[in-house]
Structure 1
Amino acid sequence: MEKEKKYATMADGSQIYYEKSGHGSPLFLLHGNGGSGKYFSKQVPELEHDFQIFLIDSRGHGRSTNDAPTLNFRLMADDLKTIMLLENIHKADFLGFSDGANLAMMFASMYPQSVHRLILNAGNTTTSGVHLLGQLASYTQFIFAFILSLFYPKMKKKVQSLSLLLHDIGVTETELKQIPCPTLILVGKHDIIKLKHSMYLAKVIPKASFVLVSGQGHAFARKNPERFNFEILKFLKEK
């Protein structure tokens, strides 16, 4: 389907890039750390038959800029709300992967009345929710990028995005318990997110269901899009 390619200007001058396609109720797709909306290239063609897709490049990622001195999920959630206002959308579904799932949880805690349903693939509210090897990889990438940024200013964008991996996202258990919408926690059995953390999210969020898929890791949506798409469409089409 034909895609509209747009930029939304935020209050601080940052430009948030997104693509709009399809027909139906609005569905926002939120990618992971260091990625872009292109991550969902194997989901969009199928989803846009039933939904109006908003494929977002998060602030400081992909084709989106960040004019703020720092980067955090609360700021990124405000970006999503601004896009909804510009598009005259009152309520939408959100599918988030990894940091995109974390962003979706932040948005749902800040703007609960703006969320119809949540799909959280490999999200974590705390750094302790990630396996040790994943934590070590994040710190290694951050240190390497920080050193490079001293010589190559363009790397500062990468440093800001990687810094998100080093801190808890800022959503408390109390706030998770107040998320009112139906939520799907979807994870692969071999994800870098600890299984007990994914199960914790499913237990704490009141209307959450939990799907664990064997043989899949962190890039579930890319490695097995048929199964991934089946699970999310099954959830989204439930009465």
Structure 2
Amino acid sequence: MSKYRNVRMALCAIFVATLIVFGAQAQNKVETVPYGANPAAGHSLRVDDANIYYETYGSGGTPLVLLHGGLYGYIEEFGELIGELSKHRRVIAIATRGHGKSDIGTKPFSYSLFADDAFAVIRHETSDKVDVLGFSDGAITSYTLASAHPELIRRLVAIGGPRKFADWTPSAQAEERNSKPSDVERDSPQFASARKMLMPQPERWLEFNEKLNAMWLGPVYVTDDQIQSIRIPTLIIAGDHDPYNQIPKFVELFQLLPKGELAIIPGCGHVVLECKGQFTISAVKTFLDGAEN
């Protein structure tokens, strides 16, 4: 089993552990928030060919938009972050199409498409500028969104998002080239089953995986010109032991940004919010609350 496959299995284990904790707490009548499937916070917006699901929490301050990671990622991965930051500002957590309760739609997946979906949700919810935090696939979407709509975003946080497939580690690239749409259900049946229960069209699970794999194998996700066009304060975050991405590539990305900042989290892999949650959240809060450059 490759290092890349091990990380996938670890992400699945985190998801399953979350389900177990929620179940145990429910039995003990301890109140929890069902992030990603919360009727009290959930909304749906028709965007072209798909219904996009999102949840809103808190009030006040500059709205914060959250864009989660791909495949194993979903709104619930931001639970601790939402709980903390929604105390003083409104949080809008968007489910990427095909993930959880958002439709897959009919179009090929692309980061431009995901950015269009996010833009529609944001402008449906507010006419004000927003802050955006994206993780992994969500980080790549955030680059595209910020480049396409410079008037939209006040401050941007991007965690673990590469610019292109060549920025992945060699082992991750090899694993992805050899992956099949059926791998996730084979390796992580409990995870796949739980996700299908959320999906509006669970029979399209393999198609969903095919669309993601095709997008990931694309040579370029966001161009250097697009990165250089992002002229808002932007914080790039990555774990120093990320098995998906080459760390020097994050340094290159940071150097392309006119108002970039860089935080490499020590002792962490890809999922820094799980590895050192409070440390990362503190860095995010400090950046978002900072004075304008």
TM-score by length of 2: 0.75
1:163 is displaced (CA, Å) by 2.4
How much has 1:143 moved relative to structure 2?
5.4
Q: For residue 235 of structure 1, what is the aligned residue in structure 2?
A: 287
1:186 alignment partner in structure 2 = 237
Match of 2:217 in 1: 166
SS of the counterpart of 1:69?
A: coil
Secondary structure of residue in 2 paired with 1:55: strand
2:228 to 160, 168, 177: 177
> Which deviations, in whole Å up to 9, do the C-alpha atoms of 1:132-172 show, x marking residues without a partner?
11112323334545999xxx753111221232221245421
2-structure distance, mates of 1:226, 1:109: 29
Asked if residue 155 in structure 1 is aligned to residue 206 in structure 2, the reply is yes
Quick one: distance in 1 between partners of 2:218 and 2:185? 20
The residue aligned with 1:121 is: 159
AA paired with 1:11? Answer: D
Aligned-partner Cα distance in 2 for 1:189–1:136: 21
Q: Is the 8 A contact 1:61 1:161 kept in 2?
A: no
- CA radius of gyration, larger in: 2
Tell me how far apart the structure 2 counterparts of residues 36 and 147 of structure 1 sit (CA, whole Å). 17
Aligned to 1:10: 47
1:89-100 alignment to 2 at 5 Å?
A: 89-100=127-138
Alignment equivalent of 1:212, drawn from 256, 259, 264? 264
Aligned CA-pair RMSD: 2.1
Structure 1 Cα separation of the partners of residues 245 and 185 of structure 2: 27
**Equivalent position amino acid for 1:15 in 2:** N
| Mapped partners of 1:28, 1:153: distance in 2 | 27
Match of 1:33 among 70, 78, 91: 70
1: CA distance, partners of 2:153 / 2:119: 11
**Counting strand residues as a fraction of each chain, which structure ranks higher?**
1
Query: Once the two structures are superposed, what CA deviation does each residue of 1:162-193 show, in whole Å capped at 9, x if it has no partner?
Result: 32221245421112111111000111110121
The corresponding residue for 1:196 is: 248
Q: What is the count of residue pairs matched by the alignment?
A: 235
Structure 1: where are the runs of 5+ without partners?
none
Q: Distance in 2 between matches of 1:140 and 1:56?
A: 30
Name 1:80's counterpart in structure 2.
Answer: 118
Which stretch shifts more, 31-40 or 159-168?
159-168
Conserved 8 A contact 2:97-2:114 = yes
How many angstroms apart in 2 are the aligned matches of 1:85 and 1:236? 20
SS of the aligned residue for 1:51 comes to: coil
Q: TM-score, normalised by structure 1?
A: 0.91
Structure 1 residues 77 and 153 mapped into 2: Cα distance closer, same or farther (>3 Å)? closer
State the identity as a percent: 27
Instruction: Give 1:112's aligned residue.
Output: 150
Q: CA 1:235/1:147 → structure 2, altered by over 3 Å: closer, same or farther?
A: closer
- Contact 1:93–1:117 at 8 Å: present in 2 too? yes
Q: Distance in 1 between matches of 2:268 and 2:288?
A: 21
The runs of 5 or more residues in structure 2 that have no matched partner are: 1-32, 187-202
Change over 3 Å in CA distance of 1:30–1:22 after alignment to 2:
same
What is the distance in 1 between the residues matched to 2:218 and 2:67? Answer: 19
